[in-house]
Copies of this chain bind each other. A is one copy, B any other.
Amino acid sequence: MTILHYELCGADSAQVFSPHCWKSRMALEHKGLDYKTVAVPFTQVATLEGGDARRVPVIRDGDTVVEDSLAIAEYLDANYPDTPSVLGGPEAAALTRFVGNWSQRNLHPAVSKLAMLDIHDALADTDKAFFRRTRENTLGSTLEEFSAKFPKDGAELGRALEPFATTLQGQPYLGGKTPLFADYIVFGALQWLRVTSPLDVLDKTSPVGEWFERLLDMYDGVGRSVPKAA
C-alpha cells in the first residue's frame, strides 16, 4: 500500500522545503518504500488527518498515522524490517537523537538567520500572513528587523557545521560508509536553505558541499528535483 507523506510546501506545491519533511522523505527513499507526497501549505497543517495541532511531516500508512520525522523513521524501521534500516539499530538511533538536537539547536538558527525572509516570500499569501504572525510573535520583532541583524555570508552556518565537516574528513557519511537518518537530519537543514533561498553559502568543493551534492543525487535525484531558489 502506498504511504501518504504530508509535506510542507510554498506557493508552488512542488516547492517542498521543510527540513523535517526532507528527513522523513529521505527515510522513505532510503527504505525503498512506495510513497506519495501530499503537499500541504502552512495553514492546512494543523488539521491534517483529523488532527487539531499537527506538525508535518505526517505519514498515513494504511490505518496508522505517524507524526514527527524521528517517530516516522522509528515506525518505518519497526514495521518494514526487511528494508535497509534507516536509523542503524537501537544504539545508532539513540545517538541520532543527539544529532537531531544538535541540528535543531545549531544549524536551524543559522539557516533561519539567512533565510527567514526568503521562506516567507516563498509562501502563498494566506500562509505568508500565518508565517509572519507566528514567527514575529516568537521573535519579538518583525521578520525584516530579525533578518537585518545577521550577515548573509554563511559564516555562522559554517561554524555550526564544523564538527560535521571534521567527521566527513574520516568517513563519507555521518552514518559511516553509507548514509543513515543522521545524514538526512543535516541534509534537511541544508535542503531547507537551498530550496528557499537564493543565497549560495555552501562551497560545493568542501567536504560538506561534496557530501550534500552526493545526497542531492541519491534516490534518482529526489532532492535535486526540487530546484534551488533563484
Which residues of A pack against B, CB within 8 Å?
85, 88-99, 101-102, 104-106, 162-164, 166-167, 170-171, 173-177, 180, 182
Return chain B residues, CB-CB under 8 Å to A97: 167, 170-171
Residues of B within 8 Å of A166, CB to CB, are 101, 104-105
Task: Give complex CA distance A96, B167 in Å.
Answer: 10
Task: Please provide the 3 A-B residue pairs with the shortest distance between their CB atoms, ordered closest to farther.
Answer: A88-B91, A94-B176, A91-B92
Choose among B93, B95, B180 the residue that contacts A96 (Cβ–Cβ < 8 A). Answer: B95
Cβ-defined contact, B98 with A174, below 8 A = yes
Bound Cα distance from A171 to B90, whole angstroms = 12
Q: Please, which residues of chain B bring their CB within 8 A of the CB of A164?
A: 98, 101
Chain B residue numbers with a CB within 8 Å of A88 are 89, 91-92, 95
Copies of this chain in its oligomeric complex? 2
> In the complex, which of the residues A101, A164, A174 has the most CB atoms of chain B within 10 Å of its own CB atom?
A101
Q: Is the CB of A95 within 8 A of B182?
A: yes
Report the minimum CB–CB distance from A181 to chain B (whole Å). 10
Interface-centre pick from A91, A96, A104 (highest chain B CB count, 10 A): A91
A171 touches B105 (CB 8 A): no
Q: Name the contact of A163 in the complex, choosing from B102, B170, B182 (C-beta under 8 A).
A: B102
Known: A105-B162, A105-B163, A163-B106. A176 touches B91 (CB 8 A): yes
A96–B93 Cα distance when bound, in Å, is: 12
By beta carbon, the residue of chain B nearest A173 is B94
Could you tell me if A94 and B163 are in contact, using CB atoms closer than 8 angstroms?
A: no
* Docked CA distance A164–B95 (Å): 10
Contact present for A171 and B94 (CB under 8 Å): yes
Complex-state Cα separation, A177 to B104, whole angstroms: 23
Q: Can you give 30 contacting A-B residue pairs, CB < 8 Å?
A: A88-B89, A88-B91, A88-B95, A89-B89, A89-B91, A91-B175, A91-B176, A91-B180, A92-B94, A92-B95, A93-B176, A94-B171, A94-B173, A94-B176, A94-B177, A95-B95, A95-B98, A95-B99, A95-B174, A95-B175, A95-B180, A95-B182, A98-B167, A101-B162, A101-B164, A101-B166, A102-B102, A105-B163, A105-B166, A106-B163
